[in-house]
Amino acid sequence: MKPRDRLRIAMQKSGRLTEPALELLNRCGLTFRQSRDKLFCFGEGEPVDLLLVRDDDIPGLIAQGVCDLGIVGRNVLNEYRLTGGLAGPALAEWRPLGFGRCRLSVAVPQELDYRDASQLQGQRIATSYPGLLGEWLRERGVDASVVTLAGSVEIAPRLGTADAICDLVQSGGTLVANQLREADVLLESEAVLAGPQALPSDERGDMIELLLKRLDGVIQVRESRLLLLQTSRGALDAVIRLLPGGPQPTLLPVAGQPDQLMLQALCAGEVSWRQLEEIKKAGAREMFVLPVEKMLA
């Protein structure tokens, strides 16, 4: 393969991951001019181009060296590692990206009282993930017959071609509509940045490192929240104990109220209503949770 001096990232052409992946790359300062056939997008500022493909093709394109990186679901990457990619170079998950979250789960007919995997012994299980399902069954010593289907896996039990299924679940709505229920989770998935195990030793390796640094910044800011609240000095210890992780909070005096303090804390993830209610019960009031736009430590 000819050496390239521009980085090439594979991503899904049209599907659930397309919009969030493009938005993430934009936030990293990458913009693209879409070509007319929409397979290849030329990068405008940085020497980084996009290849828009079916998500299933992404791991193979990285393994063949056609692309340097890919944005793809962990489910697709791990299935490739267990099936298509056995003979080729190993692929690595460089970063979890925090979108496209779903679970790969076994689902059974609603009326079945599922307790553990041993009940799947001798059953027919339909899936598009024979590699991941096969490994999961093997690890549990369960001998079941895996029926591989490319799509519409959820209707197999109604058609009588399978007793259970193993498929991606997000809300569970599709399962309920097909009189199935989620019984066991094989894999928690989200979109990931995938690449070869080792960075290329040329300029592309340097570009990947730069991109990873920007990605880390973007992801950190995206997940950060600034929590502001007021509390009495007496309740301060109890309030601080309940704060969701992150560095030490900053305390500020409140004008005209010597007993009161204003507290400011950077939180590493979402702050839920439940957490806020607990903190309020401990003595806090006037609470605000704000998204963080940019951060420079």
Report the interface residues with ligand ATP, using CB under 6 A: 12, 15-17, 54-56, 73, 75-76, 100, 102, 168, 170, 189
Nearer to ligand ATP, 73 or 249 (CB): 73
Nearer to ligand ATP, 16 or 27 (CB): 16
Contact criterion met (CB below 8 Å) for 251 and 262: yes
For the bound state, the minimum distance from the C-beta of residue 74 to ligand ATP, rounded and expressed in Å, comes to: 7
For the bound state, the minimum distance from the C-beta of residue 84 to ligand ATP, rounded and expressed in Å, comes to: 14
Strand partners, 69: 9
For the bound state, the minimum distance from the C-beta of residue 45 to Mg ion, rounded and expressed in Å, comes to: 30
Nearest to 188 by CA among 130, 146, 132, 121: 132
For the bound state, the minimum distance from the C-beta of residue 231 to Mg ion, rounded and expressed in Å, comes to: 50
From the list ligand ATP, Mg ion, none, which binds 102 (C-beta under 5 to 8 Å, kind-based)? ligand ATP
For residue 68, give both structure tokens: 């340097």
From the list ligand ATP, Mg ion, none, which binds 100 (C-beta under 5 to 8 Å, kind-based)? ligand ATP
Nearest to 254 by CA among 235, 234, 233, 239: 233
For the bound state, the minimum distance from the C-beta of residue 56 to ligand ATP, rounded and expressed in Å, comes to: 5
Contact residues: Mg ion, CB under 5 A: 55-56
Strand partners, 51: 10, 40
For the bound state, the minimum distance from the C-beta of residue 16 to ligand ATP, rounded and expressed in Å, comes to: 4
From the list ligand ATP, Mg ion, none, which binds 12 (C-beta under 5 to 8 Å, kind-based)? ligand ATP
User: For ligand ATP, which residue has the nearest CB?
Assistant: 73
User: Which of helix, strand or coil describes residue 171?
Assistant: coil
Nearer to ligand ATP, 119 or 128 (CB): 128
User: Which of helix, strand or coil describes residue 102?
Assistant: strand
From the list Mg ion, ligand ATP, none, which binds 16 (C-beta under 5 to 8 Å, kind-based)? ligand ATP
For residue 134, give both structure tokens: 């096969």
Nearer to ligand ATP, 25 or 266 (CB): 25
From the list ligand ATP, Mg ion, none, which binds 75 (C-beta under 5 to 8 Å, kind-based)? ligand ATP
Nearer to Mg ion, 39 or 252 (CB): 39
For the bound state, the minimum distance from the C-beta of residue 100 to Mg ion, rounded and expressed in Å, comes to: 12
1-7: long-range pairs with CB below 8 Å, 24+ = 1/64, 1/65, 1/66, 3/202, 4/204, 5/47, 5/202, 5/203, 5/204, 6/43, 6/47, 6/48, 6/49, 6/204, 7/46, 7/47, 7/48, 7/49, 7/68, 7/69, 7/204, 7/207, 7/208, 7/211
From the list ligand ATP, Mg ion, none, which binds 189 (C-beta under 5 to 8 Å, kind-based)? ligand ATP
Nearer to Mg ion, 55 or 163 (CB): 55
Compute φ and ψ for 217, nearest 5 degrees: -60, -45
Nearer to ligand ATP, 57 or 68 (CB): 57
The answer for residues whose C-beta is within 8 angstroms of residue 2's C-beta and 6 or more apart is: none
For the bound state, the minimum distance from the C-beta of residue 78 to Mg ion, rounded and expressed in Å, comes to: 14
H/E stretch holding 12? strand 7-12
Strand partners, 145: 124
